[in-house]
Amino acid sequence: MYKKLEYEIDPDSKCWIVCSHKPNGTGYIYINKVYDKDYAHRLIYREIYGDIPPRSEIRHKCGNKKCINPEHLVLFNLEERCYLEN
């Protein structure tokens, strides 16, 4: 059994802030389910939009690592990141 994921909505930013789990050392919420272990924002993204392609990551448009609002989550290709950093 795993702890239910609960959140509160920030009225200003519209962020869905996870309040049921504590963030890890990097500020992200990690969920440890029997069948699925990953960061909360990645689990929510997959549940709403489908699989995350290889060499991709999920970014928070809002900049809040504890946010799980699907509208704030965006797929980011790592090749694009390398291009933007050069």
Average pLDDT over residues 12-26: 95
Averaged pLDDT score across all residues of the chain: 87
Do you know the residue count of the chain? 86
Higher local confidence (pLDDT), 78 or 51: 51
**pTM (predicted TM-score):** 0.82
Whole-Å CA distances, 60 to 2, 26, 33, 39, 65: 25, 14, 22, 12, 7
Average pLDDT over residues 24-44: 85
Average pLDDT over residues 52-78: 94
Concatenating the DSSP letter of every residue in 6-39 gives -EEE-TTT--EEE-SS-B-TTS-BEEE-SS-EEE
Average pLDDT over residues 48-61: 93
The residue extents of the domains of the chain are 7-85
Q: Is the pLDDT of residue 86 over 80?
A: no
